[in-house]
Chains A and B, each alone.
Chain A
Amino acid sequence: MLRIRCPVCGLRDETEFVYGGDATVRRPAHGETDPEKWVDYVFLRDNPRGPHREYWHHAVGCRQWLVVERDTLTHAIGAVALARDAAPEVRS
C-alpha cells in the first residue's frame, strides 16, 4: 500500500487517490502547429527506473491534483506538492 502525504489532508492510503501519469510532460501551446511536438507530448515518455514526478488526484479526499515524487523501483515517496504550484507551465 502506497501512502501519500497530501499537503491538505495529511497521510492517506493510495486507494483514496487516482493516478494521473507523468508530470514532466509539457503541453505545447494551443497554437503549436508542429505535429512532432504534439506526438512528443501525447505519446512519448522518459519512463525512468528510479525517481519519477507524477500526478495523483486526491479523488475521495480534498479533490486536489498533486505532483508526487516517487521512486518507480522502490515505491518510496518523496516530496508532495499541489499541482497548481508544482506543475510545469505550458510552453509559450
Chain B
Amino acid sequence: MARYSVFSLAAKALGGHRSWPRAWRDPVPKPAYDVIIVGGGGHGLASAYYLAKEHGIRNVAVIEKGYLGGGSTGRNTTIVRSNYMIPGNTGFYERSLKLWEQLSQDLNFNVMFSQRGQFNLCHSPASLDAARLRGNIMRANGIDAELLDRAEVMRRLPYLDYSDQARFPIVGSLFQGRAGTARHDAVAWGYARAADSLGVDIIQKCEVTGFIFADGAVVGVETTRGPIRAGKVGLAVAGHTGQLAARAGLRLPIETHVLQAFVTEPLAPMIDNVISYAAAHFYISQSDKGGLVLGGDLDGYNSYAQRGGLPLVEHTLGSAKALIPTISRLRILRQWAGVMDMSMDGSPFICKTPIDGLYINGGWCYGGFKATPGSGWCFAWTLARDEPHADNARFTLDRFHAGCHIDEKGVGPTPNAH
C-alpha cells in the first residue's frame, strides 16, 4: 500500500493526479479462507481489518453483494457519540469512540472525524434529572459529559426556538464534547484499503445465497460466484441479518425497519455541533459542504424497501422547523432511507450463534455508524478467540432467554420504539 502523505499528494499533484494506484485489489475469490466476513460495510471491513491487524489472521475474505458501503454505512447521519448508561453499552461505545479518535492515523486515511460536540436537549425537569443521571454514570466510567442549564444552552445555541410558542420548552442539555461526526464513505474506504494492504480479499458484487454445512457446522458459503469454504463465517449485514440467518435456520430477536435521512441545500456555517431534540426524536448537524444533515424516527412498520414514506418526511421536517425556525425556507436537496436491524431491546449482537462456525454482528438499530470501529474490533476478537471480549460479552443472542436485556430506552420488546 502506497502511504498517503503530504509529500505523495504534492508529487501526484505535479502529475495532474493521474497516477494514483487503486486503493484496494479486486481479487478472484479463492476456494477457501480461514474467515469469511459477509457484508462489505463499515462493520464487516473493520472486522476484517482488526482480524488481520490485531490477531494476525490474514487469510480473510469480505464478501459484499453490492458495492462497499452501499448499505447502511452510506445511509446514516454520521453521528458518533458514547453517551450510553446501561452496563454492556457504556464500555463498548467508549472503546469505539477511543478508536475513532485515532482512526485517521491508524488507517492512513482521512475519515474526517470532527469532535464538534453533541447536545442532547432536555424539555422538562424530569428529563433534565434523567440527563444528570446519565451524565453521572458516563463520568463515573471516565466518559466526558457536561450538564448545561437553559441559559448556557441559549448562549451556545442562540438560533433554537426559546420562545413561549416553542413546541417543547428547552430546560437544559447533556453535552458530550468528544462526540461529533465522521465521513461515512471514508470509513468504509479507509478500512477497505487498510485491510486489503494486510492481505484481506475484498470481493464485491458477490451475493451469499446460502451456507455450506458439515456435521451441523457452517463450513462455508454458497455465493453467486460459486461456493467458498471457510473455517469461520461472520455475518455483518445489519438490516438483512434476520434474512441471512434464516438461511442457516436461525430465528432472531430482530425486525427490519426503515429510517430516513435528509440533506438540505448548503448554507454558510451555522450549526457548529450535533443537536439531538429528544422530545421529537430528531437530530441535526451541518456537513463540511454546508448542507444540514438531519433525521428523525423510524417509519414504524417492518420494511426492507430502503425508501421511506411521506408521513415521516412531514414529521421530521416539522421537527426541524419547530427546533430551528430560521431554517424553515431551506430546500431539501436529497432524501434517502436505510434498513435497520431493530433488535428487541435496542442493543446489538456480537456473538457466536448456536451453530458452530457461524458468528453474528448485527442488531445495530439505528446506532450502528458510531459503533463501527468498536464493533469491528470486538467482532474480530470474538472470531479469533472464540470468546467475547469483556466489552461485547453482553451482546449475546441468548440474553433474552436469560432476562438480561440491555434496554437503554426502557421501552421493552417493541422494535419500532427503540
A residues bordering B, Cβ < 8 Å? 1-2, 13-15, 19, 21-22, 35-36, 39-40, 42-49, 52, 54, 70, 72-75
Is the pair A2, B253 in contact by a Cβ cutoff of 8 Å? no
- Give residues 383-418 of B contacting A (CB, 8 Å): 400-401, 413-414, 416
Partner of A49, one of B254, B304, B414: B304
| CA–CA, A48 and B253, complex, Å | 13
A residues near B414, Cβ cutoff 8 Å = 21
A44–B343 Cα distance when bound, in Å, is 10
Distance of A39 Cα from B400 Cα, bound (Å) = 7
A14 to B301 CA separation, bound complex (whole angstroms) = 11
Given A1-B310, A54-B301, A72-B303, do A46 and B400 touch, yes or no (CB 8 Å)? no
Partner pick for B252 among A22, A36, A44, A70, CB 8 A cutoff: A44
Q: Write the B225-246 contact mask toward A (1 if CB under 8 angstroms, else 0).
A: 0000000000000001011001
How far is A54 from B416 in the complex, measured between Cα atoms in Å? 13
| CB proximity of A3 to chain B, nearest CB, Å | 11
Q: Are B413 and A47 in contact (CB under 8 A)?
A: no
For the complex of A and B, the 9 pairs showing the least CB-CB separation, nearest first, are A47-B242, A43-B253, A43-B400, A49-B304, A19-B301, A44-B251, A43-B344, A72-B302, A73-B304
B301 adjacent to A47 (CB under 8 Å): no
Q: Give the docked Cα–Cα distance between A14 and B222 (Å).
A: 40
Q: In the complex, which residues of chain B have a beta carbon less than 8 angstroms from the beta carbon of A73?
A: 303-305
Shortest Cβ distance from residue B257 to the other chain A in the assembled complex, whole angstroms: 10
Which residues of B sit under 8 angstroms from A45, Cβ to Cβ? Answer: 242, 251-255
Residue from A35, A36, A72 within 8 A of B304 (CB atoms)? A72
A47 and B310 contact, CB distance less than 8 A: no
B 292-311 to A, binary, CB cutoff 8 A, 1 in contact else 0: 00000000111111000111
Given the interface contacts A1-B309, A14-B311, A47-B256, does A19 sit within 8 Å of B304 by beta carbon?
Answer: no
Kindly state the separation between the CA atoms of A72 and B305 in the bound complex, as whole angstroms. 7
The residue in chain A whose Cβ has the minimal distance to the Cβ of B301 is: A19
Contact at A47–B243, with CB atoms within 8 Å? yes
15 A-B pairs with CB atoms under 8 Å apart are A1-B309, A2-B309, A14-B309, A15-B311, A36-B401, A39-B400, A40-B251, A43-B344, A44-B252, A45-B255, A47-B246, A47-B254, A54-B301, A54-B302, A72-B303
- Tell me the complex Cα distance, A35–B402, Å: 10
Query: Which residue of chain A lies nearest to B240 when distances are taken between CB atoms in the complex?
Result: A49
Q: Which of B302, B309, B310, B344 has the most CB of A within 10 A?
A: B302
In the bound complex, how far is the Cα of B310 from the Cα of A2, in angstroms? 9
Given contacts A43-B344, A45-B255, contact A75 B401 (CB under 8 A): no
With both chains docked as a complex, state the minimum distance between the C-beta of A33 and any C-beta of chain B, in angstroms.
15
B-side interface size class: 20 to 34
CB neighbours (8 Å) of B255 from chain A are 21-22, 45, 47
Q: Which residues of A contact B303 (CB under 8 A)?
A: 72-73, 75
Docked complex Cα distance between A13 and B254 (Å): 27
A47 CA / B251 CA spacing, docked (Å): 9
A43 touches B304 (CB 8 A): no
Q: Which residues of B contact A13 (CB under 8 A)?
A: 311
Interface residues of B in 115-134 (CB under 8 A from A): none
The distance in angstroms between the C-alpha atoms of A1 and B344, with both chains bound, is 26
CB distance from B223 to the nearest CB of A (A): 18
Q: How many Å lie between the Cα of A19 and that of B311 in the bound state?
A: 14
Residue on B with the closest CB to A42? B413
Query: CB-CB < 8 A to A74: which residues of B?
Result: 305
Residues of A within 8 A of B416 (CB): 19, 21
Q: CB within 8 Å of A: which of B327-382?
A: 344
Residue ID in chain A nearest B309 by CB atoms: A1
Chain A residue nearest in CB terms to B242: A47
- Which B residues touch A1, using CB under 8 A? 309-311
A43 CB contacts on chain B under 8 angstroms: 253, 344, 400, 413
Closest to B341 in A: A47
Residues of B within 8 A of A22 (CB): 255, 302
Assuming the A-B contacts A73-B305, A75-B305, are A49 and B256 also in contact, with contact meaning beta carbons closer than 8 angstroms in the complex? Answer: yes
User: Whole-angstrom distance between the alpha carbons of A45 and B250 in the complex?
Assistant: 10
Most-contacted residue by chain A among B246, B252, B303 (CB, 10 A): B303
Q: What's the nearest-Cβ distance from chain B to residue A32, in Å? A: 15
Chain A residues contacting B254 (CB-CB under 8 Å) are 45, 47
Residue of chain B at shortest CB distance from A35 = B401
Query: Would A39 and B311 count as touching, CB distance under 8 A?
Result: no
Q: Are A44 and B253 in contact (CB under 8 A)?
A: yes
- B251 and A46 contact, CB distance less than 8 A: yes
A70 neighbours in B (Cβ, 8 Å): 301
